[in-house]
Amino acid sequence: MTEDKPLSRAERNRLQLRADILQAAFIEFSDRGYHQTAIADIAQRLGIGHGTFYRYFDNKRDILEHVINDTAMQLIALLAAENAPNAVQTLAEYREQCQRIAQRFSEFAYANPKMLRLVLLEATSIDADMTQRVFALINTGGQLTAEYLANGVKHGFLRSDLDTTNTGHAIVGIIMAGMFRLLADPDNTSVLTSYGEACVRLITEGMAKT
Amino acid sequence: MTEDKPLSRAERNRLQLRADILQAAFIEFSDRGYHQTAIADIAQRLGIGHGTFYRYFDNKRDILEHVINDTAMQLIALLAAENAPNAVQTLAEYREQCQRIAQRFSEFAYANPKMLRLVLLEATSIDADMTQRVFALINTGGQLTAEYLANGVKHGFLRSDLDTTNTGHAIVGIIMAGMFRLLADPDNTSVLTSYGEACVRLITEGMAKT
Amino acid sequence: MTEDKPLSRAERNRLQLRADILQAAFIEFSDRGYHQTAIADIAQRLGIGHGTFYRYFDNKRDILEHVINDTAMQLIALLAAENAPNAVQTLAEYREQCQRIAQRFSEFAYANPKMLRLVLLEATSIDADMTQRVFALINTGGQLTAEYLANGVKHGFLRSDLDTTNTGHAIVGIIMAGMFRLLADPDNTSVLTSYGEACVRLITEGMAKT
Amino acid sequence: MTEDKPLSRAERNRLQLRADILQAAFIEFSDRGYHQTAIADIAQRLGIGHGTFYRYFDNKRDILEHVINDTAMQLIALLAAENAPNAVQTLAEYREQCQRIAQRFSEFAYANPKMLRLVLLEATSIDADMTQRVFALINTGGQLTAEYLANGVKHGFLRSDLDTTNTGHAIVGIIMAGMFRLLADPDNTSVLTSYGEACVRLITEGMAKT
DNA sequence: CATGAATGAGCATTCATTCAT
DNA sequence: CATGAATGAATGCTCATTCAT
């Protein structure tokens, strides 16, 4: 059961350094912003010569691409991982799932605020292409959520006339608002708890007096 | 009842030019982005010398400040203008109001996509201060919406246990998601219509099967 | 009889500086070579900021273009100026003219060795386009000389079966060889004198024993 | 009569690789130019690591030196090989020899345009030393040609008052002009034929009407 | 007060060379 | 001995800002 391991020591070092550069770029870009970050900053953070950077990435834009792609994949994974719609059959179960998801998102957001900063705040101001990529990511989130809702409709615990697509996008908006609130006040570790609860009630029950 | 009129012709010209510069900066910043815009671009758009710019604004950051402030004020005004909570007394009236508001927002978004771009996409990547300003703006939106909801609770057509604050923020998130969708696909002039309807139903009735 | 003189003081300064930069670039390029010359070198020679350079020329290649064009025009002018073929009717007159031309070239070469360096040594190693430009210049020289010879044939003091075109190019080669000799040993101020004489005899009489 | 044969297999490989590197450098330098050629280009052409280059040559300048020296030697050999003055005794023989030489040069030029490019176009723009080497090469060509002419004078079929030295340099100029014409238009395979004829007549008979 | 010429800090990128493996 | 990873000096170019006219 030995895997393919043609990774020489040099090879591993190389991959490690590449990962380190990506990591350093991620930190710098999310902390100071893409435009405020010089390649020299990334190199200095790692204690490497800045020429070394160009042995691993074509140019500044190239590494941003990789950083964003990596981050986007993690975000998509987060969204997709929670998408186990068939696990729930009743409204009660569904509500629990929502709370679990909210909890999960909340934890992720607290653990990785830099990712959120990068995608929500920085990536939208590089160029048209990158901005569209962010839009596409958000759109994907909406579609995943919509599938999730469609499942609820199919199982009969969500309104049969629910506009799953648009509602999915709306829910993504709700999540985004939570992220923005966290980013606005990163030290307030409780803000998302009550927000999550309110959101779960909002989307399940609405606001109207019954 | 003549107001103070120490506005000489020169004075008026001066104010006019200042406004023109602001306008030009707004267009450039929202079109090409803050970092991609040179002071010379703004000046050239107006056909003035770029040295003139510095007679009206301290520096590039300064005019961004003004541009953002102006834009923020218009957005706040949009939010506040719709905030006539006492106008509605019943759920039906309230729902109509919601639709009206959605309509209003939609129209505004279609009419002023540059404003949205500027605030949502660009302003968040200048520096920490400006980013906080955007957060504050969004937060203000949430609070205004919350007051609006509180009014609903007071009038008894919204749940008495509604977490107005958090729900207000959630609604702002829903609006933001709509803006993002519009910015992602500016030519699709109908996307917001069905989105508005779905959102109104979501927030009033929730998703659960009754 | 007043000429157009809308040249303000600023305008004149501007033109003067532009000319100065051209001159400085010419000196640096011909002295140290194009690739060895940094824009900063040109600026420093004039005591101006190197950013100023870019107010007058698009980029390094751009100014090379202008420098080469200017130089080429002077060289062409030198060739063309001497081309007064109809001035001579007999072989004796023609020989005198040749000597005069040789003298002129010689003086020019001594006075402007940098021009020769630039065109013959430097310009041929920038890129394909610039190299072709040098070839075109040499070719033009050959053609001008050929016309000059054709005139001699027409007036009957040169061989009627003279291949004027090819011979014209050959004469340009003879001139170029003289330039190379001068550039090889710029301090030897007499080398061209005897060379000129030998060349005149060569082209008029050939080498064969009569 | 055993030669020195300490050439082990490794030794031969070593010498072969050295020759390959020289050859590769020659091609790159003459194709793209010295400044446009990176050491990595040379190494890549051979499929060797670019660190290996430095085991065989001190630095970039060093290999240029060797490349130029090799090329210069071949050019000198070309000049010298044709210099068999005692082979001709009469003007007719001499003229035939001239034509043969022209033919030889022409063939060489068509076969080795890269050599000409390198020496005439590239080598003159490296630094003062290399430029002087090119001048020295041209000068050697002139001297060889002069000896050749001197022989003609001695044998009595060239003018007894012929300035052999200067005329020798002039002839080299004529040859150089032919090379330039070829380099300017490498596809025109006939340009040198008529040029050669015209040149032979020029130097033997001159241009004057007899 | 308007102008635009001048400035230089700042940055992305290249590449010859070194050296540990 | 071959390799290629690492390095940093070098440089072209941009643009916000200042200031003399």
Q: pLDDT tens for residues D104-161? A: 889 999 999 999 999 999 999 999 999 999 999 999 999 989 988 998 899 888 989 9
Q: List all nucleotides in chain E with at least one atom under 7 A from a protein Cβ.
A: 1-21
Rounded distance, CA B158 to CA B173, Å? 20
Of residues A91, A172, A173, nearest to B208 (C-beta): A91
Cβ-Cβ contacts under 8 Å between A and B: the total is: 182
What is the DSSP-derived secondary structure letter of residue C123?
A: G
Rounded distance, CA A119 to CA A133, Å? 10
CB contact under 8 A, B158 and A209: yes
> May I ask the CATH architecture of the domain D1-57?
Orthogonal Bundle (1.10)
Instruction: Return the higher-pLDDT residue of B205 and D171.
Output: D171
Of residues B157, B178, B184, nearest to A208 (C-beta): B157
Amino acid at B83: N
State the pLDDT at residue A5. 57
Task: Flag residues 37-96 of C with CB < 7 Å from strand F.
Answer: 37-40, 50-51, 54, 59-61
Q: What percent of chain A has pLDDT over 90?
A: 65
**How far apart, in Å, are the Cα atoms of A159 and each of A162, C90, C194, D9?**
5, 112, 107, 85
State the pLDDT at residue A12. 86
Which ranges in chain C belong to alpha helices (H)? 9-32, 39-46, 50-56, 60-81, 91-111, 113-116, 128-154, 164-184, 191-205
Closest residue to E19 (CA to C1') is: D51
D90 vs C contacts (CB less than 8 Å): none
Element of type H or E holding A74: helix A60-81
Above 80 in pLDDT, residue B22? yes
Matching residue, tokens 């082979």: D87
**Average pLDDT for B94-101:** 87
What is the Cα A87 distance to its own chain's centre?
23
Mean pLDDT of chain B, nearest integer: 90
A167 vs B contacts (CB less than 8 Å): 198-199, 202, 207
Minimal Cα–Cα distance from D150 to chain C, Å? 11
Above 70 in pLDDT, residue A6? no
State the pLDDT at residue B14. 87
C181 vs D contacts (CB less than 8 Å): 135, 139, 169
DSSP E strands in chain A: the ranges are none
* Domain range list for chain A: 7-57, 60-205
Q: pLDDT tens for residues B38-87? A: 999 999 999 999 999 999 999 999 999 999 999 999 888 887 776 566 67
Closest residue to F2 (CA to C1') is: D52
Of all nucleotides, the one whose C1′ comes closest to residue A14's CA is F5
Rounded distance, CA A75 to CA D69, Å? 62
Q: Is there contact between A13 and strand F, defined as CB under 7 Å from any strand atom? A: yes
Instruction: Measure, in angstroms, how far nucleotide F21 C1' is from residue B48 CA.
Output: 17
Q: pLDDT tens for residues D32-69? A: 999 999 999 999 999 999 999 999 999 999 999 999 99
State the pLDDT at residue A77. 86
CB contact under 8 A, B177 and A142: yes
Nearest partner of C191 among C182, C179, C200, C199, judged by Cα:
C182
Q: pLDDT tens for residues A86-108? A: 678 888 888 888 888 888 889 99
Residue A154: closest CA among chain B residues belongs to which residue? B209
A121 vs B contacts (CB less than 8 Å): 124-125, 131
C177 vs D contacts (CB less than 8 Å): 138, 142, 169-170, 172-174, 176
Rounded distance, CA B104 to CA B78, Å? 9
CB contact under 8 A, B208 and A159: yes
State the pLDDT at residue B6. 66
Instruction: Let me know how many helices (H) and strands (E) chain A has, helices first.
Output: 9, 0
Mean pLDDT of chain D, nearest integer: 90
Of residues B124, B158, B178, nearest to A208 (C-beta): B158
Of all nucleotides, the one whose C1′ comes closest to residue A51's CA is F7
Nearest partner of D162 among C166, C177, C194, C104, judged by Cα:
C194
| Dihedral Cα A66, A68, A69, A72, nearest 10 deg | 160
**How far apart, in Å, are the Cα atoms of A170 and each of A181, B108, B168, D114, D185?**
17, 19, 14, 68, 68
Q: pLDDT tens for residues A168-202? A: 999 999 999 999 999 999 998 889 999 999 999 99
3-state secondary structure of C161: coil
Instruction: Measure, in angstroms, how far nucleotide F15 C1' is from residue A188 CA.
Output: 40
Instruction: Let me know how many helices (H) and strands (E) chain D has, helices first.
Output: 9, 0
Instruction: Measure, in angstroms, how far nucleotide E17 C1' is from residue A143 CA.
Output: 54
Contact C118, C137 (CB under 8 A): no
Nearest partner of B138 among D80, D96, C164, A176, judged by Cα:
A176
Q: List all nucleotides in chain F with at least one atom under 7 A from a protein Cβ.
A: 1-21
State the pLDDT at residue A57. 97
State the pLDDT at residue A176. 96
Rounded distance, CA D174 to CA D166, Å? 13
Minimal Cα–Cα distance from C210 to chain D, Å? 7
**How far apart, in Å, are the Cα atoms of C102 and each of C107, C199, D117, D206?**
9, 9, 28, 17
Minimal Cα–Cα distance from C6 to chain D, Å? 43
Instruction: Measure, in angstroms, how far nucleotide E19 C1' is from residue B39 CA.
Output: 48
State the pLDDT at residue D65. 95
CB contact under 8 A, A208 and B139: no
Identify the CATH number of the domain defined by range A7-57.
1.10.10.60
Closest residue to E15 (CA to C1') is: D38
> May I ask the CATH architecture of the domain A60-205?
Orthogonal Bundle (1.10)
CB contact under 8 A, A209 and B131: no
Rounded distance, CA D208 to CA C153, Å? 9
Amino acid at C11: E
Nearest partner of D87 among D77, D76, D95, judged by Cα:
D95
Rounded distance, CA D136 to CA C152, Å? 36
CB contact under 8 A, B131 and A121: yes
Instruction: Measure, in angstroms, how far nucleotide E5 C1' is from residue C91 CA.
Output: 59
Instruction: Measure, in angstroms, how far nucleotide F5 C1' is from residue A55 CA.
Output: 9
D36 vs C contacts (CB less than 8 Å): 127
Cβ-Cβ contacts under 8 Å between C and D: the total is: 181
Amino acid at B34: Y
State the pLDDT at residue D6. 65
Mean pLDDT by 10 residues, chain C (210 residues): 62 92 97 96 96 97 96 86 72 87 90 94 94 95 90 89 95 96 92 92 80
Rounded distance, CA D67 to CA D70, Å? 5
Q: pLDDT tens for residues A33-85? A: 999 999 999 999 999 999 999 999 999 999 999 999 999 999 888 877 765 66
CB contact under 8 A, D163 and C205: no
Of residues B124, B138, B195, nearest to A121 (C-beta): B124
D180 vs C contacts (CB less than 8 Å): 135, 138, 173
Long-range contacts of C33-39, Cβ-Cβ distance < 8 Å, separation of 24 or more? C33/C122, C33/D125, C33/D126, C33/D127, C34/C64, C34/C122, C34/C123, C34/C125, C34/C126, C34/D125, C35/C125, C35/D35, C35/D125, C36/D127
Q: Which two tokens stand for residue A180?
A: 């923005």
Please give the full DSSP string across D75-121, using - where no structure is assigned: HHHHHHHT--GGG--SHHHHHHHHHHHHHHHHHHHHH-HHHHIIIII
**How far apart, in Å, are the Cα atoms of D26 and each of B102, D45, D59, D181?**
73, 11, 15, 22
A172 vs B contacts (CB less than 8 Å): 177
Closest residue to E3 (CA to C1') is: B49
Task: Flag residues 89-148 of A with CB < 7 Å from strand F.
Answer: none
What is the Cα C174 distance to its own chain's centre?
14
State the pLDDT at residue B85. 63
Instruction: Measure, in angstroms, how far nucleotide F19 C1' is from residue B55 CA.
Output: 12
| C47 contact partners, CB below 8 Å, separation of at least 6 | none
Give the confidence band of B12 by pLDDT, cuts at 50, 70, 90.
confident
